[in-house]
Amino acid sequence: VSDSEHPTSAPIVLIHSGAGGRTEDLLTRGEDYRAALAATIARARAALEAGGDAVAAVLAAVTFMEDDVDLFNAGRGSVLCRDGTVEMSAGLMRGADRAAGAVANLRTTRRPIHAAQAVLIDSPHVLLAGPAADAFAERAGLEQCPVDYFVTERQQQRLAQGSGDFVGGTVGAVCLDGQGGLAAATSTGGRPGQWPGRVGDTPSIGAGTWADDRVAVSCTGDGEAFIRSGASRRLALDVSRGTAVEEAGAAALADVAAAGGTGGLIAVTSSGEVTLAFTTAAMGRVLWRAGSEPEIWVAD
């Protein structure tokens, strides 16, 4: 039984681990990626089972992926800027009231998505950037680490190889919870070899991250093109006008292509429609509907 004010629905969680090429790494370490994605969805599920809402579920998922040093481009192990430093960004949005929090170009905060949550809860602002954002996160009680902590040998080698192509690994999650609440979260180290100071789509609300009372969206790919096409907000506007989410997702990615970019996105609507779409060769992703086993894709 449900009433219109507090409808009950079976929760749905979608996760992505970045759109990119079918890299050697993805192909040889497919089982590691699969296990990490399975463990990630288990965290989101546990958060919901413990009584958490959609925000708690997406935070649990993204935090777990940020903590993985080896596989994902978020938190420690992020890709490097062209000067060899790490700059991390994250965005979080709650659908019910469109509350949003985001951080850009963090260098010392261990878990950027928690800093985005702190901006959402504890500040009058939507986006904080740079050293002041790290200082804000520290004041909010979030763990700080030396800048070198985030730099891994694997990413130093990748930078030395000189590939500026984005390789995937940005992480994101969207959730529809049992009360009909929606939330989206995305976290990234940006693009390999980016200029220090560059801000991508991930913390840009309405570009890489969006949630309202009808749909939650998390994007990955060529950030500049996602910003120039307002990708996630565009998808949401189409959904609000009655377009099916799959069609709205395809249209958003077509607009990204028109802006010269490729990538992918995940989205879930308040009525439980989903899309997991990409225009790259691969996008790690998971779809879990309460009552079913998670479906996991790694290298396609």
The DSSP letter of residue 51 is T
Residues 6+ apart with CB under 8 A from 276: 14, 16, 264, 265, 266, 283, 285, 287, 297
The 3-state DSSP class for residue 277 equals strand
Distance in Å, CB of 126 to ligand ASP, minimum: 18
Is 201 among the residues that bind ligand ASP (CB under 6 A)?
A: yes
Tokens 């004010």 belong to 5
- CA–CA distance, 261 with 258 (Å, rounded to integer): 7
Question: Closest by alpha carbon to 236, among 223, 221, 224, 252?
Answer: 252
- If phi > 0 it is left, if psi is from -120 to 50 it is alpha, else beta; for residue 113 that is alpha
**Nearest to ligand ASP of 4, 161 (CB atom):** 161
**Nearest to ligand ASP of 117, 280 (CB atom):** 280
**Nearest to ligand ASP of 9, 152 (CB atom):** 152
With CB under 6 A as the contact rule, which of the stretches 44-52, 96-104, 115-123, 183-191 interacts with ligand ASP? Answer: 183-191
For the four alpha carbons of 155, 161, 162 and 165, in that order, the dihedral sign comes to negative
- One residue of 109, 187, 188, 280 binding ligand ASP per CB under 6 A: 188
End-to-end CA gap in the chain: 39
* Positions in 17-56 near ligand ASP (CB under 6 A): 18
Distance in Å, CB of 194 to ligand ASP, minimum: 7
* Positions in 217-246 near ligand ASP (CB under 6 A): 220-221, 223
Q: What amino acid positions are annotated as catalytic residues?
A: 170
Distance in Å, CB of 220 to ligand ASP, minimum: 3
- CA–CA distance, 125 with 213 (Å, rounded to integer): 21
* Positions in 70-129 near ligand ASP (CB under 6 A): none
* Positions in 130-169 near ligand ASP (CB under 6 A): 166
Phi, psi of 105 (to 5 degrees): 60, 40
Query: Which residue number places its CB atom closest to ligand ASP?
Result: 223
Is 203 among the residues that bind ligand ASP (CB under 6 A)?
A: no
With CB under 6 A as the contact rule, which of the stretches 54-62, 116-124, 153-161, 216-224 interacts with ligand ASP? Answer: 216-224
Instruction: State the CB neighbour count (10 A cutoff) for residue 179.
Output: 15
The DSSP letter of residue 226 is H
- One residue of 77, 91, 200, 294 binding ligand ASP per CB under 6 A: 200
- CA–CA distance, 232 with 226 (Å, rounded to integer): 8
**Nearest to ligand ASP of 47, 267 (CB atom):** 267
Size, binding site for ligand ASP by CB under 6 A: 13
Distance in Å, CB of 266 to ligand ASP, minimum: 12
Is 170 among the residues that bind ligand ASP (CB under 6 A)?
A: yes
Which spans of this chain sit near ligand ASP (rule: CB under 6 A)? Answer: 18, 166, 170, 188, 190-191, 200-202, 208, 220-221, 223
